[in-house]
């Protein structure tokens, strides 16, 4: 491509583009759930936290403890879970693309729904946004049904978890790790 020649724009509604020029957008606080139950799950979750921190225009500003939880609506070994809060200038689809790339680099495969996994990253909240698209729904549609999301989220952002939500998942097995 010739120097100074503009690139063609991508017009797909789910296209992920970045704008290297112009004023930076204000950072948005987003929350991401991390989980793994194959291989060295603890190491995978910790490595994913570092990879999230390395995403462009993104800073990890809060990190929950690690938790061990039983699979929900799935089979397999226990999960290691956590939630991180980030301030990011990426839009929601850019952030999602970055998270999916981290999953791929960790060997994530999707052979069937709720299969055991080397790494699972879910974008739970993106500021106050409500997003429904073919590739992303925010707030995450099932976060209120999962203790492995609500407990670590309540640890770092209690304003996003109600007592009723916590009461609804009290029967799910979850244990905070040191």
Span 43-80, pLDDT tens digits: 999 999 999 999 999 999 999 999 999 988 777 899 99
Give the model confidence (pLDDT) of 106-137 as tens digits: 887 665 566 678 899 999 999 999 999 999 99
- For the chain, the straight-line distance linking the first and the last C-alpha, in angstroms and rounded, comes to 52
Q: What distances in angstroms separate CA 26 from CA 19, 20, 78, 175, one per listed residue?
A: 14, 14, 38, 36
Active site residues: 108, 117, 120, 122
Give me the CATH code for the 28-176 domain, please.
Answer: 3.30.70.560
Question: No. of H helices and E strands in the chain?
Answer: 4, 8
pTM metric for this prediction: 0.84
Backbone angles phi, psi at 90, to 5 degrees: -70, 145
What are the φ and ψ backbone dihedral angles of 36, each rounded to 5 degrees?
A: -160, 145
How buried is residue 29: exposed, middle or buried, by Cβ count under 10 Å (0-12/13-18/19+)? middle
Nearest to 92 by CA among 32, 151, 156: 32
């Amino acid at each position: 491509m010739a120097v100074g020649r503009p690139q063609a724009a991508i017009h797909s509604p789910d296209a992920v583009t970045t704008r290297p020029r112009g004023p930076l957008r204000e950072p948005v606080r987003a929350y991401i759930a991390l989980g793994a139950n194959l291989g060295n799950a603890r190491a995978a979750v910790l490595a994913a936290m570092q990879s999230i921190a390395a995403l462009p225009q993104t800073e990890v500003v809060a990190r929950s403890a690690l938790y061990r939880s039983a699979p929900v609506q799935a089979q397999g070994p226990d999960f290691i879970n956590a939630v991180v809060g980030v301030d990011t200038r990426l839009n929601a689809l850019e952030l999602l693309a970055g998270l999916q790339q981290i999953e791929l680099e960790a060997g994530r495969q999707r052979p069937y729904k709720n299969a055991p996994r080397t790494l699972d990253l879910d974008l739970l909240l993106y500021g106050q946004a409500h997003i429904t698209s073919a590739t992303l729904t925010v707030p995450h549609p099932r976060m209120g049904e999962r203790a492995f999301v609500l407990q670590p989220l309540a640890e770092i952002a209690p304003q996003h978890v109600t007592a009723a939500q916590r009461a609804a998942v009290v029967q799910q097995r979850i244990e905070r790790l040191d």
